[in-house]
Structure 1
């Protein structure tokens, strides 16, 4: 069930499946150690194929070796980009069209493909992308145990209840990996020796937390997890509260007014919410529209601030509902 990080080739199988033959052959020739560090694959028409690794980026040369020189890198053609897009639509044309309006497509396994090119705008909103000029494949991997460092502060041993938490960081700092493991650990009951598992509902709007294919999670979320795949966060939280009786709702990347209102509604209903948000710090998150209201209402009991300082998932701080430090970090969450 898990796209385990211990087997990087297995984790990348869905990505390689959409690559043109010659490009797929280049990836199949790369070593496991390098694939283990791979975070992004950048495809730009007329530019060299770029790999973003954990600590550096490099271009892929003709023989498959890596180089720092863009002049030696294999060039990606517009035809190759078109082939990748065509293969992406084979998974679900409707889902691809829906996601592409937001600038990305999600592959089976939770890998997100970001899109750049000429946007088609109607009534002030992006409706599609034409003349796609670049793609960014963000690799999704599972890290069982990623939440071990923060799990104790997400559970009140006195009241025996889970606590609401917001995971805050810039992109690519391990937020989705962390909330996935939180969902899994809650579902299995890894909170206290005598505590049963909790009912968890994952609102997976971008299909990245569970990595579902045809609605079936490809990542292990435990025996008590229900997934609303492709469902908008705000609507999904309300649906879960009304019909799935969760102890905990887990979701990714809140930021809109309706997201804030749904989190507030969940807190009033006695449901814990564990969510993520893009921001450099808690103060930066609070400056976003509608988020200060969430903070002032104490909708979240904990704030976890992540960075990449010691690798993705580095816990910089754990803060209480008032933003006061519970713990200063530096350790990796996983």
Structure 2
């Protein structure tokens, strides 16, 4: 939290520090929009501050925040201003929005940053442990696609799976495996200057801020991983690279936005991969009961349920 608070104008730091401890501990997002009051997202809902008028985020606050995020050197953030986000110490990700400068239909950078979304990285050690009996069989990790809507825990599960795959699980006699992460959005490992801020295991190599389609084959050729970790697949070029990786004998753990396997099959870019049954397991996430966290169900490669929602909890 200290690394986040130091970026905020003092007025907003004070508001967050005044909130109850359970609110700070469960913060998911801090949203700042020019001309609007501070918004705190707690357990997927907006926190209503009792008996207090929240301060309005102004243009001068946005300028001050951007200066602090860039350490008063905006030219060093050219790539981040093009991508629309920056990862800071602790693995936290700050989404940026505002006026965009384009050239020939391509984004050059965000010129006037007036909206910020600070997404707090909270590693949950052991979150994926209930999945191990379904994903590790006969001495190998099965190719798996994790499906869920935003904020259902897809990246959290992938991160914890990476940690366990890379380090092994001695009490279950599961050995460590060479693991590679293609972290296009810097969310799994949360790298800063190439160094992971999250615990992703000692035998893990990371290609940070690298496009997935190119990164998968780069990782296979250069680092020879036994398991490949990829977040948020969906483009046609991602599918082509995924086919190559799976056919190269590498187990792939990936995630995709969606509500069900049926819905994903209706997406033209993903349909060929799913119809070819390249994944051995599908993990479906939902957030039906926020007080209990995220629900998980597991399907086999034919789409048949092998673990019902009520049996596995995250």
Conservation of the 8 A alpha-carbon contact between 2:287 and 2:294: yes
Q: What is the distance in 1 between the residues matched to 2:159 and 2:61?
A: 33
Q: What is the distance in 2 between the residues matched to 1:239 and 1:193?
A: 32
Conservation of the 8 A alpha-carbon contact between 1:120 and 1:130: yes
Of 80, 88, 96, the match for 2:77: 96
Residue of structure 2 in register with 1:142 after alignment: 123
Check 1:146–1:92 CA distance in 2 against 1; reply closer, same or farther (3 A cut): farther
Give the TM-score of the pair, scaled to structure 1.
0.87
Q: What is the distance in 2 between the residues matched to 1:264 and 1:94?
A: 38
Q: Deviations over 1:183-216 (max 9, x none)?
A: 0011121287333111111111111111122211
2:127 partner SS: coil
Check 1:94–1:131 CA distance in 2 against 1; reply closer, same or farther (3 A cut): closer
CA drift at 1:283 = 1.9
Query: How many aligned residue pairs are there?
Result: 313
Q: What is the distance in 2 between the residues matched to 1:101 and 1:67?
A: 38
Check 1:316–1:112 CA distance in 2 against 1; reply closer, same or farther (3 A cut): same
- Would you say 1:14 and 2:6 are equivalent positions? no
Check 1:303–1:227 CA distance in 2 against 1; reply closer, same or farther (3 A cut): same
Q: What is the distance in 2 between the residues matched to 1:130 and 1:223?
A: 39
Q: What is the distance in 2 between the residues matched to 1:95 and 1:265?
A: 35
Aligned-residue Cα RMSD (Å) equals: 2.2
Q: Deviations over 1:248-305 (max 9, x none)?
A: 0112111111111111111101101111111122222222232001101222111111
Residue of structure 1 in register with 2:47 after alignment: 58
Q: What is the distance in 1 between the residues matched to 2:51 and 2:246?
A: 50
Give the TM-score of the pair, scaled to structure 2.
0.92
1:149 partner SS: helix
- Would you say 1:176 and 2:155 are equivalent positions? yes
Structure 2 residues not aligned, in runs of 5+: none
Q: What is the distance in 1 between the residues matched to 2:204 and 2:123?
A: 16
Conservation of the 8 A alpha-carbon contact between 2:32 and 2:57: yes
Conservation of the 8 A alpha-carbon contact between 2:297 and 2:312: no
Q: Deviations over 1:87-129 (max 9, x none)?
A: 2223985673323333322223222222222222221222222
Check 1:203–1:22 CA distance in 2 against 1; reply closer, same or farther (3 A cut): same
Q: What is the distance in 2 between the residues matched to 1:117 and 1:271?
A: 40
2:259 partner SS: coil
Q: What is the distance in 1 between the residues matched to 2:256 and 2:308?
A: 20
Q: Which moved more, 1:21-30 or 1:84-93?
A: 84-93
1:217 partner SS: coil
Query: Equivalences for 1:307-326 in 2 at 5 Å?
Result: 307-311=286-290, 314-326=294-306
Q: Which moved more, 1:13-22 or 1:87-96?
A: 87-96
Query: Equivalences for 1:125-274 in 2 at 5 Å?
Result: 125-157=106-138, 160-190=139-169, 193-274=172-253
Q: What is the distance in 2 between the residues matched to 1:130 and 1:48?
A: 22
Conservation of the 8 A alpha-carbon contact between 2:87 and 2:192: no
1:231 partner SS: coil
CA drift at 1:331 = 5.7
Q: Which moved more, 1:99-108 or 1:13-22?
A: 99-108
Check 1:298–1:177 CA distance in 2 against 1; reply closer, same or farther (3 A cut): same
Q: What is the distance in 1 between the residues matched to 2:170 and 2:301?
A: 20
Check 1:132–1:33 CA distance in 2 against 1; reply closer, same or farther (3 A cut): same
Q: From the two aligned structures, give the one with the greater helix fraction.
A: 2
Q: What is the distance in 2 between the residues matched to 1:204 and 1:109?
A: 16
2:254 partner SS: strand
Conservation of the 8 A alpha-carbon contact between 2:11 and 2:55: no
Conservation of the 8 A alpha-carbon contact between 2:178 and 2:226: yes
2:29 partner SS: strand
